[in-house]
Amino acid sequence: MGESNGRPPRKGNARGDVERIQGITLATLHYSAIRRNSPAAGSGNLQAVLLGDAAGTLVSPQELSTPLTFEGTRTIGASLGSGVVMLFDDQVDLRLILLRIASFFRHETCGQCVPCRVGVVRQQETLQRLVNAKPLGSVTQEIAMLREIAQAMRDASICGLGQTAASALESAMQRWSLFS
């Protein structure tokens, strides 16, 4: 994974029983999981792929032709990140996945800088309200708040954790209407 333009290959992980992911497309990875009756295939109806762990990017089935290379993922506004590839079928509630990711970042923040210390808490609280269908104000206002929080964390956090804590959420909001 990651072979292109002379860069060395990068080791990667795939949830489930997938042989090799180096230099293939997301579609090949998905079909391999289905063919092998892997737990990663789920129902076989792919809903999303998370590239690069909790700080990564969620991509849609329409992006399955994307090669798993640095350049390939960059063309769709994604990143290989740590090399993790997680497949989510249509039985998974992506809102709950995003809430779990937000809870992870809330737990992992060191608290040194305010944008991250406050941002990850507000991000998780806002997502919880949206998942429970109990927004403060309107859903549109809550989504706008999530985008502002993400921007503040990305611009002003000291370390990579705060700068990427909203990556999966932002990519999901770009690709799906999860809260409307």
Tell me how far CA of residue 98 lies from CA of 27, 61, 108, 138, in angstroms.
Answer: 23, 18, 15, 19
User: Which pTM value belongs to this model?
Assistant: 0.79
Q: Which residue has the higher pLDDT, 72 or 29?
A: 72
Cα separation, 112 vs 123, whole angstroms? 17
pLDDT at 180 over 80: no
Token pair of 16 as six digits = 């489930």
- Tell me the per-residue pLDDT of 71-101, one tens digit each, with 9 for 90 and over: 888 889 888 777 778 888 888 899 999 999 9
41: nearest Cα among 23, 57, 18: 18
Q: How confident is the model at residue 10 (pLDDT cuts 50, 70, 90)?
A: very low
Better-predicted residue by pLDDT, 74 or 20: 74
Higher-pLDDT residue of 17, 103: 103
Q: CA 28, 9, 27: angle at the middle one, nearest 5?
A: 10
